[in-house]
Amino acid sequence: MGWAVLSLLVMACSKGEEVSPLDSQERVTMIDPWTAIDQTPYMEPAKGEGITLVAGATLTKSTMTVDDVHAMATVSWLAGDGFKMYGWNSGEKKYYYANYSTAEGGDKATFTTSNGLPSAPQHCLFAPASTTLHLGHNDNDGGYFGVNIPVNQTAVAGKVKDEYLYSYAQTNFSGSKVNLDGDHQVTFRNMLAYVRFKMSGDIASSVTSVTLTGASPLAGDCTLVPASDGTPQMSFTKKFSGDVQSLTVTLTGTFAPDTYYYFAVAPGTQSSFSLKFSGSAGSTTKIAAKSVVFSRGAINDMGTIELGDHFTDPVTPSMETIQYMEATAEAAKPVTIAIIPDGFVASEMPKYELLARSAMNTLFNVEPFKTYKNYFNVYILKVASNESGANVTDGNGNITEAHDCYFGSKWGASSYSDMAADLDKIESFVSTNCPDIVEGKHTINEVPVLVIINDTRYGGRCHAYSNGFAYCMAPYTYGGGGIKWSYPEYEAVSDVDPALGVQDTPSSRYAEVGSNSGNWLNTMVHEFGGHSFSRLTDEYWNGTTDKGVAAFIESQRWDSMYYNGVAYGLNVSVSYTNPGYDDPKKGSEYIKDGWQHLLDKAATLPSSDIRKSRIGVYQGAGVSILNRWRSERISCMIDNRFYFSAFQRELIVKRILSLAGEVFDFDTFWAKDVAVDPVRDVVSSSVMGDTDPVPPRPMPLLLPPVLHTEE
């Protein structure tokens, strides 16, 4: 299938007065928590003399037709169209609104109202006028507008149904004048993204519904926050109608072959997605295991999808093995990963498969997994639970709310220190269903397992065993919603001398390392890619409010823990002057796999090589603020960013090659090494929906792995 994007270019609004979007959730005061439009005492029609506005709709808004020959979309206002204008009066703590309508239509149209101009410094305009809006406010500027993107949509041949063409304009007024593009002129912008497809094959005319499923929310309750550039940002963190954070959108109607049909969806990045074509005789699911951006105001063209002459989905898809990735490197054997679900019932298997693909798409886009992905066999194993979700405990392992999930995943309602699953059942299931174990390429102890859990609570934990086995628990936290982590609040005064103690982390440090926001996939990369697969220990540390000398936590001595012959935590040093891991089993003089060679290498690098300035010896690591050292200031093993340090990358590549039966060569590794930190190095263009205008929930740093001794 082909993937092309047809952009709906829109005429940009000029900036009026700067109106800051919300800068913290604490500022938000919701109304009940949301109020429907036109409700008193929070809503009143604007009073005063009527006003006329000219609304531009250049390639935006009310009705849309697509010119396939010229690969463009044209849209215009229709006679009888209308929009609503809202303004928040902070003094009166009230929204005023005005209804506008046009009698002419066209790419620009004159709209009139009998309501007068809402008395407010900022106005937000929404079309079509029939759109049901829900309103909230913060203590200063107002600003929350809730709109529901329908989960169930009606198929219209060759176009988007007009009522799904949500558009928005934002302006500031001085007296009765609009300070945008000349007096009394505004320009609307599309708020949603659009996805189109065609069908071919004998069963195309038998299709009665098509469902688009993503790994991130596509529809449901969406919150819009006005922005100073006139483009509102989108959030799925507020609920007002009950239909929130849907991963699916379904088109229903009569379909014909070789005809375009359209979904209206939330803008954002989908790391994987599927299309399910259903009729009375069954269904066929097509999955795209690639990342795609659904941009605001753009059409994503999926091309023509061949359906064949019969529906192909299995009747009972609850037990199945899918090979997501096949090793192509000429190595002695593949490096194997197994993924299993917990808390997904049979009907939720498509959701699980998309989340599994999304997890692997993410992991193999992070270095060095990206560079070495041709060494891997990755299997998505399916098994259905009898009930959705995971068990809830009292925080001490005792179940207080039972869910009949296949692998018995459980953790506390407000903590995850007791997060665990049924080890015997995991080992038995993976050993029986992972092809590389069945065929004798690997033992279960050489195949790390990722458990994706159908539960929205926060958490993530690695359980590692000295016989080599490890599994990682990764729940679908907050339904894929935004979360963030911070660099620790305290740090060592000196990277050299522990006796100097601890200080508040200076603001310059936060500016240096940046701030990482993400979602459950960041947790997965840290817990599975960092701990379960790579044997890395955490590089964050416990803060200490009295700034005294923090003792190393003896209960987490990574140096005494071996994972199938490889010591855990080689990325952490007990020595500043000779950075390498001090192995107590071989005496304090024995330094194993330290990074002194990287320090020597960094000294020879040109200043243009970012590794030169990053490789060093920094105090604080292995959950100890003092007397442990790490090789870079920040990494995935601190705040879950998609970045492993140079030394971590070297250890990961050693692990990959060891499992593949190959010999590690440093010069080869160094020549292939890629050092890119998305937080510090990548300036990405903002796609509405990629960034959350409501700040992500701050989360604690993830707990250390649970290390088990298997004799």
- Segment 633-647, tens digit of pLDDT: 999 999 999 999 999
Pick from 175, 75, 81: nearest CA to 127: 81
Tell me which of 441, 456, 480 is where a domain ends. Answer: 480
Give, in order, the Cα–Cα distances in Å from 387 to each of 16, 404, 477: 53, 5, 18
Task: Give the model confidence (pLDDT) of 621-673 as tens digits.
Answer: 888 888 889 999 999 999 999 999 999 999 999 999 999 999 999 999 999 99
The domain tally of the chain equals 3
Tell whether 312 is covered by a domain.
Answer: no
Tell me which of 428, 456, 480 is where a domain ends. Answer: 480
Same domain, yes or no, for 328 and 281?
Answer: no
Backbone phi and psi for residue 232, each to the nearest 5 degrees, phi listed first: -70, 150
Same domain, yes or no, for 333 and 272?
Answer: no
Tell whether 314 is covered by a domain.
Answer: no
Same domain, yes or no, for 659 and 525?
Answer: yes
Backbone phi and psi for residue 460, each to the nearest 5 degrees, phi listed first: 165, 130
Same domain, yes or no, for 411 and 448?
Answer: yes
**The predicted structure's pLDDT at residue 592:** 53
Q: In the 3-class helix/strand/coil scheme, how is 276-292 assigned residue by residue? A: EEEECCEEEEEEECCCE
Q: Are strands 483-485 and 697-698 parallel, antiparallel or unpaired?
A: parallel
Task: Give the model confidence (pLDDT) of 250-296 as tens digits.
Answer: 999 999 999 999 999 988 888 788 899 999 988 888 877 667 888 87
Same domain, yes or no, for 346 and 409?
Answer: yes
**Count of CB atoms within 10 A of residue 532's CB?**
28
Same domain, yes or no, for 195 and 261?
Answer: yes
Tell me which of 456, 480, 504 is where a domain ends. Answer: 480
Query: Can you tell me the distance from the alpha carbon of 114 to that of 118, in angstroms, rounded to the nearest whole number?
Result: 11
Residue 362: partners with Cβ closer than 8 Å, 6 or more residues away? 271, 521, 524, 525, 642
The residues with which 73 forms a beta bridge, in sequence order, are 66
Tell whether 315 is covered by a domain.
Answer: no
Same domain, yes or no, for 48 and 151?
Answer: yes
**Count of CB atoms within 10 A of residue 174's CB?**
10
Same domain, yes or no, for 451 and 493?
Answer: no
pTM comes to 0.76
84-93, 249-258, 383-392, 441-450: least confidently modelled range: 84-93
Angle at 556 between CA 340 and CA 456, to 5 degrees: 35
Residue bearing tokens 């993204």: 193
**Count of CB atoms within 10 A of residue 68's CB?**
11
Query: Can you tell me the distance from the alpha carbon of 429 to that of 452, in angstroms, rounded to the nearest whole number?
Result: 15
Same domain, yes or no, for 438 and 521?
Answer: no
Helix (H) or strand (E) holding 629: strand 624-630
Tell whether 44 is covered by a domain.
Answer: yes
Query: Can you tell me the distance from the alpha carbon of 540 to that of 556, in angstroms, rounded to the nearest whole number?
Result: 13
Tell whether 582 is covered by a domain.
Answer: yes
Same domain, yes or no, for 647 and 511?
Answer: yes
Same domain, yes or no, for 346 and 421?
Answer: yes
11-25, 160-174, 238-252, 436-450: least confidently modelled range: 11-25
Q: Is the dihedral of CA 683, 688, 694, 697 positive or negative?
A: negative
Residue 582: partners with Cβ closer than 8 Å, 6 or more residues away? 559, 573, 574, 575, 588, 590, 591
Tell whether 375 is covered by a domain.
Answer: yes
Tell whether 313 is covered by a domain.
Answer: no
Tell whether 10 is covered by a domain.
Answer: yes
> Which range marks the domain in which residue 359 is found?
320-480
Backbone phi and psi for residue 519, each to the nearest 5 degrees, phi listed first: -155, -160
Residue bearing tokens 């006139």: 230
Mean pLDDT of the chain: 78
* 414 — pLDDT class (breaks 50, 70, 90): confident
Same domain, yes or no, for 568 and 628?
Answer: yes
CATH number at residue 355: 3.40.390.10
